[in-house]
Structure 1
Amino acid sequence: MIIDSECNTVYFSKKLQDNFPEEYQHISEALAPFDYIKVNLLKGTKDEWARDYMPIQTAEKRLVKFRYQPSYEVRSKWTEPSAVLKANKLRADFSKHNINLDGGNIVKWKDKVIITDRVVTENHIYKNDQELLFERIAEDLQTQVIIVKAHKERDDMTGHADGMLRFVNENTLIGNRLKDESKPIRESIEKMLEKHHFNYIDLPFFEDKSNNHYSAIGNYVNFLEIANIILFPIFDHLDQKNDEALSIMKKTFPNRQIIPINIDAVGRDGGLMNCISWCLKQ
């Protein structure tokens, strides 16, 4: 697997620039000093998101594209991945098993990925044979697949792994503070940590109680990592824990430049830095 810290190119949807010009300007200005990082805009998209419908880079010249048919959005809002690939002169190998899987539900390291079991409900034909589904994802990605329990849809619309945890290195994860998680999620992650001998670093999180079912505000773990840069979401919110979260990130990633960035307007729409970006090693 190609991990984001190995990448040198980041793509954002053209719709992000069109619909959230101030937020896109903040992102562009944050990345501008780093001339070894190339920034591109994706043509042919329907909204500001990028990660979910774009392929997974498993090797420098191998992109794997899964089917993108998210149950949490109506069909008319789906971006057509094939059209985006064509419009941007990109090529990908499609999943041999036609598996429906969002890119945001794949948290990767060089020899493994973590995915939530929301992928089961997105692939109904595997309901009675989940292990076969996981085996086929592993075959497509040519790597080990680790499964954790997803939040219920009422608590997390997408149920994606990138809103729960991320890799620090091959032995360490950083994610939402476990003591503040619901019991089923906490127990699932603790079981996974024990089984795979991972260390775990807690990040604070909070809920945006504005009655917006889509809001991702409060989710610090959904950061953008590329090369030695991390664009880290901070929030203008009464319950914000920005200082604590930044302090933990700087201790966890001492060799990275942690750049705080506020994109609350995008967060209210359901996603943050990882959701709006897609990285490549070129």
Structure 2
Amino acid sequence: MKEKKRLIAEFEEQSFTQIIFPHADTDWTDYLEDAQNTFVSIINAIRKYQKCLVVAYDTDAVKKYFSDTDNLEFVHCVTDDTWARDCSALSVKTANKTALLDFSFNGWGNKFDAKKDNLMTQKIAHKYLPCKVEKIDFVLEGGAVESNGAGILLTTAACMLNKNRNPHLNAAQITQKLKEFFDAEHILYLNSGYLAGDDTDSHIDTLARFTDENTIMYVTCKDTNDEHYKVLKRMEEELQIIAKEHNFRLIALPMCDAVYFEGERLPATYANFLFVNGAVLVPVYGVSQDKEALAIFKKTFPDRDVVAIDCSVLIRQHGSLHCVTMNFCVSVQLFKNPNTLVGTEVPIPIK
């Protein structure tokens, strides 16, 4: 009998967070120092709460950014870019163990070269993923799906059903594939919602996120003169229907004031937050809504620390905090003291 599995929700207990450090051959090159400093800030914030795996083009060079290596592990791999959310494996859980699904990554619909990124998980699996890693011939980015951990996935039609991902499959076939990959009962599609400057065809993690099994936090726009007003209003109406059907609670986040770089509006969004054990890291952008957004997070998560992370550099490359990280839930002897690892899943060998 086939084992049932589920896509582990990000708000559940984690083992570690993965991040890919910027290097000169990435798109960060024009402001590499600023980008690297931002990544150091993110890594230092994460490791206060849990382990952090740093994928590095040069491990010795990257280690020099840190005064110590507590809660850090470094693994060498040269990548095209640094969007760990979309080229890393997804953690799924069966009855008594976890496994990792390594989906194909094609640079958000062949917009960018992603050959090295697509190979990353397989290249470093022997080092930090001594459990089952299953390669899946299906294009799927981690930022494109949100799981409530209980059989419901939230995504967007603009991304998931886009012909630049899996052109050989129709909408019904893609939906069925998702149900099979994650044994999901419901695949919920949002048909509206986008952010100016976004390269991903409207990833769900820029728009709406599960904060627990029954709550969705989402971006809303109150400025009728903003280009996002109508489309985000339609998205809100869709979410209200979904909430009524599935007994979900909705929490609205403010839309940021427009942020520009080199004349282009950037996809600044508070929905791109990151869960770690005991905290939620919130991207901020130096705009007037930062204070309001942080207050909403503090009210929503009274039992977690709320940590603001300046992500004004990240959005220059059209992503933010969640986009450059990936959460894992696997019990592996990755770090020097395996007794400090989080989780109780039983690892199984790579086949």
Q: Do both share a fold (TM > 0.5)?
A: yes
The structure with the larger Rg is 2
Is 1:196 paired with 2:246?
yes
The 5 Å alignment of 1:57-68 reads: 57-59=91-93, 60-68=97-105
1:76 pairs with one of 104, 113, 117: 113
Higher mean alpha-carbon deviation, 70-79 vs 139-148, is at 70-79
1:268 maps to 2:316: yes
Q: Is 1:46 paired with 2:46?
A: no
Alignment of 1:110-189 (within 5 A): 110-111=149-150, 112-117=152-157, 118-121=159-162, 122-127=165-170, 130-144=171-185, 145-151=187-193, 156-158=198-200, 159-177=202-220, 180=229, 182=231, 183-189=233-239
Instruction: Name whichever of 244-253 and 86-95 sits farther off.
Output: 86-95
Q: TM-score, normalised by structure 2?
A: 0.70
Provide the C-alpha distance between the structure 1 equivalents of 2:54 and 2:108, rounded to a whole number of angstroms.
26
The letter for the 2-side match of 1:212 is: E
Structure 1 residue 190, shift from structure 2 partner: 2.6
Q: Hey, what's the Cα distance between the residues in 2 that align with 1:140 and 1:124?
A: 18
Distance, in Å, in 2 between the alignment partners of 1:135 and 1:74 is: 26
Who is 1:216 aligned against? 267
Pair 1:131–1:196, CA change in 2 (3 A): farther
Offset at residue 221 of structure 1 (A): 0.9
Identity %: 21
How many residues of Structure 1 are paired with residues of Structure 2 in the alignment?
A: 272
- Structure 2: gaps of 5 or more residues: 1-6, 56-76, 223-228, 331-351
Q: How far, CA to CA, are the matches of 1:92 and 1:2 in structure 2? A: 15
Going from structure 1 to structure 2, the CA distance change for 1:265 and 1:175 (only over 3 Å counts) comes to: same
**Equivalent-residue separation in structure 1 for 2:123 and 2:270 (angstroms):** 33
Show the 5 A alignment for 1:19-38.
19=32, 20-34=35-49, 37-38=50-51
- After superposition, the CA RMSD in angstroms is 2.4
How far apart are the structure 1 equivalents of 2:23 and 2:313?
A: 11
Q: Using the TM superposition, name which of 2-11 and 186-195 deviates more.
A: 186-195
* Correspondence list, 1:218-257, <5 A: 219-237=269-287, 240-257=288-305
Which consecutive unaligned segments of at least 5 residues does structure 1 have?
A: none
Deviation at 1:279, TM superposition (A): 1.0
Higher mean Cα deviation, 265-274 or 39-48? 39-48
